Amino acid sequence: MAVILLAGLGAFAHAIISRFRWLAVAKPEVRWDEIPSRIERVVENVFGQKKLLQRGWRGAMHVMFFYGFIVLQTVMLQVVGEGLFGFDFKLPFVGGTAGLGLMQEVFSAIVLVAIGMATWQRYIKKNPHVKAHSEFDALVVLCGISGLIITYFITNGMLINMRLAGTEVASLPPIDALPISGLAAKALAVFSPGIQSFFGHASFWLHAAFFVSMLIWIPRGKHFHLISGPMNVFFNGNATHKSGAALKKTEIDLENMADDAVFGASTLDQFSWKSLFDSYACTECGRCQDQCPAYNTGKALTPKGLQVEFRKELERAGPLLIQGKKDEEGVLRPFIENVFSEEFLWSCTTCGACVQECPVDIEHIDTIVEMRRYQVMMASKFPKEATAIFKNLERKGNPWGVSDSRVDWAKGLNIPVLGQDGEAKDFEVLYWVGCAGSFDDAAKKTARALVDVLRAAKVSFATIGKSETCTGDPARRLGNEMLFQTLAQQNVDTLNSLGVTKILSHCPHCFNTLANEYPQFGGNFTVVHHSEFIAELLRTGRLKLLPKAEGTITYHDSCYLGRHNGIYEAPRETIAAATGLDLVEMPRNKEKGFCCGAGGGRMWLEEHAGKRVNIERTEEALGTGAREIAAACPFCATMLTDGVKDKNKEEDVKVVDIAQIVARSIDHHAMKP
């Protein structure tokens, strides 16, 4: 036992230490600040298994594995002790007790059932959702754990029969606490004591062999997640960037830039260690790709594949890196073209479904955006449509490239402009109109409707007129961090110089950038989305409505409002108040909402492969039979309107922003002074 244990532990330690040493090639990043909130996440998501419990039978199965695996560790410790010191060895405090014995029996049985379910799904039903990238690895581990449990029962069966024959076995719990081992004992009892002893001892040593094999195997395959998964939850960026989808800031100092400075990442050494560690933690459960709009509409992108390929690349290059061969040709190779296609990279809408679903808190979007940053800022290789967007943002401050008409949407509305002619010094909120509200015909109607609502509720507000420029969201998500930072700094300087503290936005992309990313540039504002602002006006009685419905209505959750910022109820409350109707929900709603296809700068890119994402979502919306599709984002509204037109349904179904729904229901009579 001592020899095989040392060999197993040595191989285990070697595999783990090597994998940590491979990370040394990556860029540093601090992920051990705010320890209490990190521990809180571990308690919630690792021990509480919060995310997994939301996933029906698959989640329940994993929870069984998780707790079963923890309890099985006590069985293994017991076996090691018995191998070293004989069958009288007892674990301190709990060894030989009925409580531990019963727990070991129950959890072993549960894990065996879970393995049976997994085998059924994987090999008999051939469920594509549980297909692992590394099938052989999965098979080895399923066999290894089954072997551990079956040999445990047989060994216990022998010990029970020894006790019944009058030989005391101190480590064995009371027989009544071992119902399943009792069945094994009965099965063994048909043999002579000599044969029973042979089976029992063979089983004991097989158990030890399975245990050591697992020690050797687990850190070398996807089951390394048993160790790295909980650590990844601890290191998750959301512990420190709690709200919203704030992308990491790249430090860009053009004046003091080193000759070999690299922006973004292309090879293993250019990513942060956390991006590489994510791949160790991946369980290959496939929850991310089940929800991914790109994967589900036939694009090359798979968020699970992203992690699997990163791990494979580390397994390939890692041993060479620690031999000091970093600079040899082919050791570090660009991911794009060698591992992932351009289509893979640019298909991501940054919707965040993968990040939200992942049980081990992997941060896919950061890795994807880092690669986009490299492609844009270092390799100058990006979709040709993005060239026009970057030019338009650079020269005109909006993605459409329209000149000098930013304030035309407000003609005749007499909206005060902050900083202009001494106007609008005292106001409750600054209305950030956004590029869509300023230049897109449909979104202009939303902006004007919102103005009607604000006026009806006697909210004093102002805009910053022509001083507003794009927040930079599309530039940042398309990888042009340099352009984003220029736009962001310009806006932050303008807002700070005007003393703005509270901002209202009807665009979730502007909202997210202003609220969650501008603090990186010295802009600390209270930002509120119009859905929440209107809901509050209704709650406080400042706004009164006469519910008016134009037929049944469904609501599409914007990813940047819902998933990235947790705002699901305010738009629903507002729609209910304005229409007096219950929403007809789409099958995929709230946390499970399906992207419209516009995020991540994809609003302006062509979709060459598979089905268009907006068509997939529009079909789902039309499937509800609703006469109106409500949105709370101008980009979602555009994508869904295009989808409705594509389906020749524009006569029957309208796409409307919640501000328009509210504006048409204002009870002007009740609101007169």
Q: Which of 282, 443, 447, 637 binds ligand SF4 (CB under 6 A)?
A: 282
Q: Among 104, 266, 307, 375, which residue sits at the site for ligand SF4 (rule: CB under 6 A)?
A: 307
From the list 116-124, 326-334, 353-361, 483-491, the region that binds ligand SF4 by CB under 6 A is 353-361
Say if CB 106 and CB 76 are below 8 A apart: no
Q: What residue type is assigned to position 400 of the chain?
A: W
Cα–Cα distance for residue pair 88/259, rounded to 1 Å: 68
The reply to whether 46 sits near ligand SF4 by the rule CB under 6 A is no
Binding status of residue 80 toward ligand SF4 by CB under 6 A: no
Q: Does 288 bind ligand SF4 (CB under 6 A)?
A: yes
Nearer Cβ to ligand SF4 (90/477): 477
Contact (Cβ atoms closer than 8 angstroms) between residue 567 and residue 668: no
For ligand SF4 (CB under 6 A), the number of binding residues is 29
**Does 353 sit near ligand SF4 (CB under 6 A)?**
yes
Which of the ranges 196-204, 297-305, 571-579, 658-666 carries the binding residues for ligand SF4, by CB under 6 A?
297-305
565: contact with ligand SF4 by CB under 6 A: no
Q: What are 89's two structure tokens?
A: 């060895």
What is the helix (H) or strand (E) element at residue 536, kind and residue range? Answer: helix 530-539
Q: Closest approach of Cβ 229 to ligand SF4, in Å?
A: 8
Choose one: 238-246, 266-274, 293-301, 646-654; the region binding ligand SF4 (CB under 6 A): 293-301
Q: In the complex with ligand SF4, which residue's Cβ is closer, 354 or 537?
A: 354
The answer to whether the CB of 278 falls within 8 A of the CB of 345 is: no
Sheet holding 429-432, edge to edge: 461-462, 429-432, 502-505, 526-529
Nearer to ligand SF4, 171 or 356 (CB): 356
Residues 243, 244, 249: CA angle, nearest 5 degrees: 100
**Binding ligand SF4 by CB under 6 A: which of 8, 68, 83, 286?**
286
In whole angstroms, how close is the CB of 393 to ligand SF4 at the nearest point? 22
- Counting runs of H as helices and runs of E as strands, what totals does the chain give? 28, 7
Q: How far is the CB of 339 from ligand SF4 (least distance, A)?
A: 15
Asked if residue 301 binds ligand SF4 (CB under 6 A), the reply is yes
Q: How far is the CB of 446 from ligand SF4 (least distance, A)?
A: 25
Q: Following DSSP, what letter does each residue of 303-353 receive, concatenated?
A: HHHHHHHHHHHHHHHHHHHHTT-TTSTTTS--HHHHTB-HHHHHT-----H
CA separation, residue 100 to residues 3, 106, 615, 647 (Å):
28, 10, 56, 62
Q: Which is nearer to ligand SF4, 112 or 369 (CB)?
A: 369
Among 203, 275, 349, 638, binds ligand SF4 (CB under 6 A): 349
- Residue nearer to ligand SF4 on the CB measure, 364 or 572: 364
How far apart are CB 200 and ligand SF4 at their closest, in Å?
39
Q: What are the C-alpha distances in Å from 128 to residues 132, 133, 286, 287, 616? A: 9, 11, 9, 12, 20
CB environment 62-71: b (16+ within 10 A), e (fewer): bbbbbbbeeb
Tell me whether residue 349 or residue 480 sits nearer to ligand SF4 (CB atom).
Answer: 349
Minimal distance in Å, beta carbon 319 to ligand SF4?
23
Q: Which is nearer to ligand SF4, 372 or 529 (CB)?
A: 372
Q: In this chain, which stretch among 236-244, 296-304, 416-424, 443-451 interacts with ligand SF4, using CB under 6 A? A: 296-304
561 binds ligand SF4 (CB under 6 A): no
What is the four-CA torsion angle of 80, 85, 86, 89, rounded to 10 degrees? -80
Distance of CA 608 to the CA centre of its chain: 25
Asked if 214 interacts with ligand SF4 (CB under 6 A), we say no
Out of 274, 364, 448, 530, point to the residue binding ligand SF4 (CB under 6 A).
Answer: 364
Q: Would you say 382 and 376 are in contact if contact means Cβ atoms under 8 Å apart?
A: yes
Residue 74 CA to residue 70 CA, distance in Å, equals 8
Per CB under 6 A, the list member of 61, 111, 265, 348 interacting with ligand SF4 is 348
CA distance between the termini of the chain: 88
Residues near ligand SF4, by CB under 6 A: 282-288, 291-294, 301, 303-304, 307, 348-354, 357-360, 362, 364-365
